[in-house]
């Protein structure tokens, strides 16, 4: 019926979204789960935001995709916003899933608590290759709080170091998301504390979309691991016309 | 056992609440679903708030109703607040369901984002008969976000143009709701974005009730269409002693 | 497997938590439900906060407990914070369940709306023995809003007058909770209106923990009465590593 393209978040690849894709496919849709440039095996960790966005624009072109429901998770919100700005006529609807919503000239780190930005920059400085990693206690308590310890450990081992430059580069947009004439949805996992609830995803960032459809579902930032079937249902509810 | 009177919101009539009423009746209660003056077939769209309130006061008197659990949805919160002020001894409990809670001298439009008020006034100016309608994209994305497109379209066709004057008239009350010596409940549908979540129904408006019972349920502003049975259960939980 | 110690809130005793304990025990854990000094039959209602905390420290020592998941409800958050400060090496994780999170020098009443503090002090002044009680309408509407009237009445009769001094004494801590090197979780019952939602438990108080795991569950402040099995599951999700 439709075409879904799922764009992962920082430290992830498209592979981790395959169980989610399988449920969406079972409803009769085509689903793509590309990996953003910078997170693919062997990518330079000096990749910047514009290159990252361009890699997904090319994925749409190379696969001849249009009428796409384009879903972005977390950092993936930066990507889908940039893709929609550059390839608007290929998009049927944007779906932000606990995702950043940038206006022109904003970076991802402009939208997180200042202490987070400083922590990421300190970690990257120590690593020295341009990449940042997430300390396990933060992953376990604030990102995947709804899973057991085994799941938290197993999924942590799958993460890849993320290029800091994609988080610090300011995005270049011709229009801000609120003015973008594309249908939009926001999925909010109600126990997502990867951003603290006094500095939340929704409605702080979602309201930057202008008119949008809200879908809420119980779960953490990493519902793709803790309950991929439930997440897929939320994506279907968010992605339909 | 008890008597429930369900008061619809703007653009609706009592007819749309009949499936909700049926579930409440199945629990052994009497249920009335009157239509407010201004929303009945043939009513002048110049109807004001005082007339609208008076039409429900008369409904209680004409049917000899007392010990009433009086439930108001959205704009219906203006109505039940006014009715309770004028006929307090007929009321057992007020139940606000994502409803406006006015203090003396406030209009409905005083409680919505200024951009909404301007939009309604522009639409009414264009229509020229005193009524305002809701654009379909707002209905589909922000009012009935939890239903499929068919349901959104089918229910949109049932709506009737709403008299703007009932939204701009200031209510006249002898006491504000917080001081009103009647039991009160507030039902909050957690995905209701008819008012944006940075300018929400609860707790922004609910707290004007003083002591009240909170009942929350998953769903949009139009849970009467998307899940009338679940809404009826919430009304029963809110309406019991 | 593990050891859970459940610390009740104001007006309660450990006995009321036994149905919750039974479900946790059925998962293979040891569970203790001591009653804090000041709430035990015959205790002086002039008991202060330091004595109350000390009574739970002694419970841990007397029973030789370590590696404890220490759970505090409401006022119990004052107690577990004090206990962790004095007996840190006996604690595996702190679990706050709609509980107060004090920094050094704060009292419980410093964290509630000023009108609540004045009400409690007026009630205590009238009683004259140092204790405060909760008026039934507040209990029914704002504390146990998710139960029926019979449950509200039955559980109200179980409450005991609470020593006001434990609510007004400033806590003495060597470090604030955010700096305490112990794992922490916060359980938030989403319909808990014992503190109003414009002055909420979470994230207003939870954020004082620094890094913590959030678990949310539908229910009122008194989920121990309205759904003890569901509460026990939330405690297990919050208490695991």
- CB within 8 Å: C198 and B204: yes
For residue C5, pLDDT beyond 90: yes
CA torsion through residues A211, A213, A218, A220, sign: negative
Smallest CA–CA distance, residue B155 to chain A, in Å, is 15
Q: Which residue of C has its CA nearest to B189?
A: C191
* CB spacing of B213 vs C137 below 8 angstroms: no
Q: From CA A135, how far away is CA A190, in angstroms rounded?
A: 23
Can you read off the two tokens belonging to residue B219?
Answer: 């769903």
Residue C1 banded pLDDT, cuts 50, 70, 90: confident
Percentage of residues in chain B with pLDDT exceeding 70?
A: 100
pLDDT in tens, C149-191: 999 999 999 999 999 999 999 999 999 999 999 999 999 999 9
Residue A234: its chain B contacts at CB < 8 A? none
Q: According to the model, what pLDDT value does residue A121 have?
A: 93
What does chain A come to in residues?
241
**Residue A191 Cα distances to A53, A197, B20, B192, C215, angstroms:** 28, 9, 31, 18, 7
Residue A57: pLDDT band with limits 50, 70, 90: very high
Q: Does C216 touch chain A (CB under 8 A)?
A: yes
Confidence at residue A1, expressed as pLDDT on a 0 to 100 scale:
83
Interface check for C105 against chain B (CB to CB < 8 A): the answer is no
Q: Helix, strand, or coil here: C115?
A: helix
DSSP B11: T
C150 interfacial to chain A (CB closer than 8 Å): no
Flag whether residue A92 sits within 8 Å of chain B, measured between CB atoms.
Answer: no
State chain B's maximal CA–CA distance in angstroms.
Answer: 48
Please answer yes or no on whether C191 and B240 come within 8 Å at the CB atom: no
Task: Give the chains touching A; criterion: ≥3 Cβ pairs < 8 Å.
Answer: B, C
Percent of chain A with pLDDT over 70: 100
pLDDT, tens only, C71-100: 999 999 999 999 999 999 999 999 999 999
Give the orientation angle of helix A76-86 with respect to helix A49-62, to 10 degrees: 60
**Which residues of chain B are within 8 Å of residue C140 when distances are taken between CB atoms?**
213
**Token pair for B205:** 């408006």
- Residues from chain C contacting residue A198 (CB–CB below 8 Å): 203-204, 207
Q: Please answer yes or no on whether A196 and C207 come within 8 Å at the CB atom.
A: yes
CB contact under 8 A, B197 and A213: no
Mutate to test the interface with B, among A188, A197, A214 (most CBs of B within 10 A): A214
> Looking up tokens 């919505």, which residue turns up?
B112
- Closest residue by Cα to residue B206 from B186, B220, B177: B186
Tokens of B33: 């679903």
pLDDT value at position A42? 94
What are the chain C neighbours of A218 within 8 Å (beta carbons)?
A: 216
C-alpha B32/C-alpha A29 separation (Å) is 45
- The closest of A90, A92, A95, A83 to A56, measured between CA atoms, is A83
> What pLDDT does B1 receive?
83
Does residue A59 register a pLDDT over 90?
A: yes
Q: Which residues of C touch B216 (CB under 8 A)?
A: 190-191, 218
Distances (CA, A) of A34 to A62, B13, B73, C154, C212: 12, 48, 45, 58, 33
| Under 8 Å between Cβ of B103 and B176 | yes
* Partner A contacted by C230 (CB < 8 A): no
C197 contacts B214? CB cut-off 8 A = yes
B positions 190-209 inside 8 Å of C (CB): 202-204, 206-207
Longest Cα–Cα distance in chain A:
48
pLDDT at C7 over 90: yes
Question: In this structure, what DSSP letter does residue C170 have?
Answer: P
pLDDT tens digit string along B97-125? 999 999 999 999 999 999 999 999 999 99
Residues 6 or more apart whose Cβ sits within 8 Å of residue B115: none
Q: Give per-residue pLDDT as tens, B139-178.
A: 999 999 999 999 999 999 999 999 999 999 999 999 999 9
Is C148 in Cβ contact with B214 (below 8 Å)? no
B241–chain C Cβ distance below 8 A for any pair: yes
Instruction: Give chain C positions within 8 Å (CB) of A149.
Output: 240-241
Task: Using an 8 Å CB-CB cutoff, list chain B residues near C218.
Answer: 216
Say if CB C40 and CB C65 are below 8 A apart.
Answer: no
pLDDT band of residue B130 (cuts 50, 70, 90) is: very high
Residues of A in Cβ contact (< 8 Å) with B149:
240-241
What are B224-237's pLDDT values in tens digits? 999 999 999 999 99
Of B142, B197, B218, the CB nearest to A203: B197
C138, C146, C191: residue with CB nearest B211: C138
Strands A68-73 and A213-217: unpaired
Give the nearest chain B residue to A215 (CA atoms): B191
Residue pLDDT, tens place only, C116-152: 999 999 999 999 999 999 999 999 999 999 999 999 9
- Partners of residue B193 in chain A, C-beta under 8 Å: 213-214
**Which residue, chain included where needed, has tokens 């400085």?**
A125
pLDDT of C59 higher than 90: yes
Burial class from Cβ neighbours inside 10 Å (0-12, 13-18, 19+) for residue B177 reads: buried
Q: What angle do CA C212, A191, A153 make, to 5 degrees?
A: 60
DSSP string, chain A: --EEEEE--TT--GGGGHHHHHHHHHTT-EEE-PPPTTSSTT--TT--HHHHHHHHHHHHHHTT--SEEEEEETTHHHHHHHHHHHSGGGEEEEEEES---PPTT--GGGGS-HHHHHHHHHHHHHH-SSEE---HHHIIIIISTTS-HHHHHHHHTT---EETHHHHSPP--SS-GGG--SEEEEEEETT--SS-TTS-STTTTGGGGSS-EEEEES--TTHHHH-HHHHHHHHHHHH--
Q: Mutate which of C197, C204, C213, C239 to disrupt the A interface (most A C-beta within 10 Å)?
A: C213
Instruction: Note the maximum CA span of chain C.
Output: 48
At C146 the pLDDT is: 98
Instruction: Give per-residue pLDDT as tens, B184-218.
Output: 999 999 999 999 999 999 999 999 999 999 999 99
Residue C67: pLDDT above 90? yes
Residue C10 in this model has a pLDDT that exceeds 90: yes
CA distance B85 to B177: 9
Of B83, B41, B56, B42, the closest CA to residue B174 belongs to B83
Burial degree of A191 (CB within 10 A; 0-12, 13-18, 19+): buried
Contact C207 A218 (CB under 8 A): no
**Given pLDDT bands bounded at 50, 70 and 90, which one contains residue A58?**
very high
The string of pLDDT tens digits covering residues A118-135 is 999 999 999 999 999 999
C214 contacts in chain A (CB < 8 Å): 145, 191, 193, 197
Distance CA B239, CA C34 (A): 37
Query: Chain C partners of A146 at a C-beta cutoff of 8 Å?
Result: 215, 237
CB C84 within 8 A of CB C117: no
pLDDT, averaged across chain A: 98
CB B208 within 8 A of CB B177: yes
Say yes or no for a CB contact (<8 Å) between C142 and B183.
no
The single-letter DSSP state of residue C224 is H
**Given a cut of 90, is residue A179 above it in pLDDT?**
yes
Helix (H/G/I), strand (E/B), else coil: B230: helix
Going along chain B, which residue ranges are E strands? Answer: 3-7, 30-32, 68-73, 91-97, 131-132, 162-163, 183-189, 213-217
Question: Which chain B residues are Cβ-neighbours of C148 within 8 angstroms?
Answer: 240
C-alpha separations of A133 from A41, A122, A157, C4 in Å: 15, 11, 11, 34
Considering only the beta carbons, identify the residue of C183, C214, C241 that sits closest to A193. C214
In DSSP terms, which residues pair with B40 in a beta bridge?
none
Nearest to B137 among A207, A211, A216 (CB): A211
Beta bridge partners of C163: C131
Region A90-115: mean pLDDT is 98
In contact, C240 and C185? CB cutoff 8 Å: no
Say if pTM beats, i.e. exceeds, 0.90: yes
Mutate which: C135, C145, C222, vs B, most B CBs within 10 A: C145
CA separation for the pair A137, C154 (Å, rounded): 43
**Which of C119, C188, C193 to probe the B interface (max B CBs under 10 A)?**
C193
Distance CA A188, CA A168 (A): 24
What is the b/e burial string over B143-172, where b = at least 16 CB atoms within 10 angstroms of the residue's CB? Answer: bbbbbeeeebeebbeebbbbbbbbbbbebe
The residue whose two tokens read 């002044």 is C125
Q: Residue C185 and residue C235: Cα distance in Å, rounded?
A: 9
pLDDT of res. B57: 98
């Amino acid at each position: 019926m439709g075409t879904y393209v799922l764009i992962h978040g920082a430290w992830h690849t498209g592979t981790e979204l395959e169980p989610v894709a399988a449920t969406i496919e079972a409803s009769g849709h085509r689903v793509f789960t590309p990996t953003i440039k910078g997170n693919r095996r062997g990518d330079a960790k000096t990749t910047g935001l514009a290159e990252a966005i361009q890699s997904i624009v090319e994925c749409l072109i190379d696969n001849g995709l249009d009428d796409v429901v384009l879903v972005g998770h977390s950092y993936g919100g930066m990507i889908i916003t940039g893709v929609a700005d550059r390839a608007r006529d290929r998009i049927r609807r944007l779906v932000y899933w606990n995702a950043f919503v940038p206006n022109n000239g904003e970076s991802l780190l402009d939208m997180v608590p200042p202490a987070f930005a400083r922590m990421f920059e300190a970690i990257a400085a120590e690593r020295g290759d341009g990449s940042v990693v997430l300390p396990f206690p933060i992953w376990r308590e604030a990102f995947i709080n709804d899973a057991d310890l085994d799941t938290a450990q197993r999924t942590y081992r799958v993460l890849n170091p993320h290029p800091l430059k994609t988080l610090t580069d300011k995005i270049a947009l011709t229009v801000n998301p609120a003015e973008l004439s594309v249908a939009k949805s926001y999925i909010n996992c109600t126990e997502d504390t990867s951003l603290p609830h006094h500095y939340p995803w929704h409605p702080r960032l979602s309201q930057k979309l202008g008119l949008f459809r809200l879908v809420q579902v119980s779960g953490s930032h990493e519902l793709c691991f803790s309950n991929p079937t439930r997440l897929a249902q939320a994506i279907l509810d968010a992605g339909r016309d």
